[in-house]
């Protein structure tokens, strides 16, 4: 059992009776409690052959998760733009990614592109000091597009391997801020053709499937390449992963499981699914 799914597993255990097979009624109730989208649940139940065994449920759930195709990184610097709404955990996630890349032997540069919030800039600056990583800062309320341009050109001059650019949190309904995000993407391409090479959307796991609409809007605006789900350890909404992945058709790349710099793990679809369904089939 993956530890960050403990609350989800406890919620399922409270519903599902311990039997060799799971009834459609119990499965439906448990998946609702785990915050899986109802339309996805209905479609899943229609596809499942009864009796619902562990193998059948595992296979059906895995079908909901898009395959992750590792990318071959040939660009230097490789530029990643991190987006999401306020409070999703973007800044901390950037620090975790920077720590991971450094541990893998890459040189990293950070761009503090959340110029709207001085606290976010200071938070990322503190992380940069802790990780001994250079950071490009902008004046408060400065142009985030200019910051992105400066961060990339600085990384080119310093011959850094990776650039991680933070952005201001914005609701998917704030059209002016979404347009600003599109501008940042265009300016990144001017600084380095093809940049940003990967656009990562950070979602708050505690929001569960309610994050689907924001995920869809961000993807429609800039075409996200992958999802990072933060704070999943503190919620019982683990089933939302299936709905978000299915509807967005983008892979979940990482899971945030705490506040420390190493609390970011690779998302393993099979391991996640086996842990997710374990409470359904525990021995009596």
Contact 113, 168 (CB under 8 A): yes
Length of the chain measured in residues: 284
CATH number belonging to the domain at 78-267, selected among 3.30.420.40, 3.40.50.170, 1.10.3720.10, 3.40.50.300: 3.40.50.300
Residue 106 has what DSSP assignment?
A: -
3-state secondary structure of 199: strand
Tokens coding 200 = 């990562």
> What are the residue boundaries of the structural domains of the chain, listed by start?
3-66+275-281, 78-267
Which pLDDT value is given to residue 157?
Answer: 96
Predicted pLDDT at 5: 85
Q: What CA–CA distance (Å, rounded) separates 229 from 267?
A: 9
pLDDT at 123: 92
Taking the C-alpha atoms of residue 48 and residue 12, their distance in angstroms, rounded to an integer, is: 19
pLDDT at 115: 83
Report the alpha-carbon distance of residue 34 to residue 43 in Å, rounded.
16
* Residue-level pLDDT at 32: 94
Long-range Cβ pairs for the range 248-252 (8 Å, 24+): 248/212, 248/215, 248/216, 248/219, 248/224, 249/66, 250/66, 250/201, 250/219, 250/224, 250/225, 250/226, 251/65, 251/66, 251/67, 251/68, 251/69, 251/226, 251/227, 252/65, 252/226, 252/227, 252/228
DSSP state of 52: B
**pLDDT at 233 (0 to 100):** 81
Instruction: Please list the residues that pair with 199 across neighbouring strands.
Output: 81
Low-confidence ranges of the chain (pLDDT < 50): none
């Amino acid at each position: 059992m993956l530890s960050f799914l403990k609350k989800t597993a406890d919620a399922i255990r409270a519903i599902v009776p311990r039997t060799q097979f799971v009834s459609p009624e119990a499965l439906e109730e448990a998946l609702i409690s785990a915050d899986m989208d109802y339309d996805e649940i209905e479609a899943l139940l229609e596809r499942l052959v009864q009796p619902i065994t562990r193998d059948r449920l595992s296979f059906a759930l895995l079908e909901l998760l898009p395959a992750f195709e590792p990318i071959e990184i040939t660009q230097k610097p490789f530029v990643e733009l991190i987006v999401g709404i306020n409070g999703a955990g973007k800044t901390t996630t950037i620090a975790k990614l920077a720590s991971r890349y450094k541990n893998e032997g890459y040189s990293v540069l950070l761009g503090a592109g959340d110029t709207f919030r001085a606290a976010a800039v200071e938070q990322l600056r503190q992380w940069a000091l802790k990780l001994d990583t250079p950071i490009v800062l902008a004046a408060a309320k400065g142009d985030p597009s200019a910051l992105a341009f400066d961060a990339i050109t600085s990384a080119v001059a310093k011959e850094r391997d990776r650039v991680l650019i933070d952005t201001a949190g914005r609701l998917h309904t704030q059209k002016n801020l979404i347009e600003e995000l599109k501008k940042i993407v265009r300016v990144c391409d001017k600084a380095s053709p093809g940049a940003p090479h990967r656009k990562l959307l950070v979602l708050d796991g505690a929001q569960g499937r309610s994050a689907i609409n924001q995920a869809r809007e961000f993807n429609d605006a800039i075409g996200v390449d992958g999802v990072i789900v933060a704070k999943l350890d503190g919620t019982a909404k683990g089933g939302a992963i299936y709905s978000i992945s299915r509807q967005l058709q983008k892979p979940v790349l990482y899971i945030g499981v705490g506040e420390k710099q190493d609390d970011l793990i690779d998302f393993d679809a099979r391991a996640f699914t086996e842990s997710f369904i374990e409470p359904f089939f525990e021995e009596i």
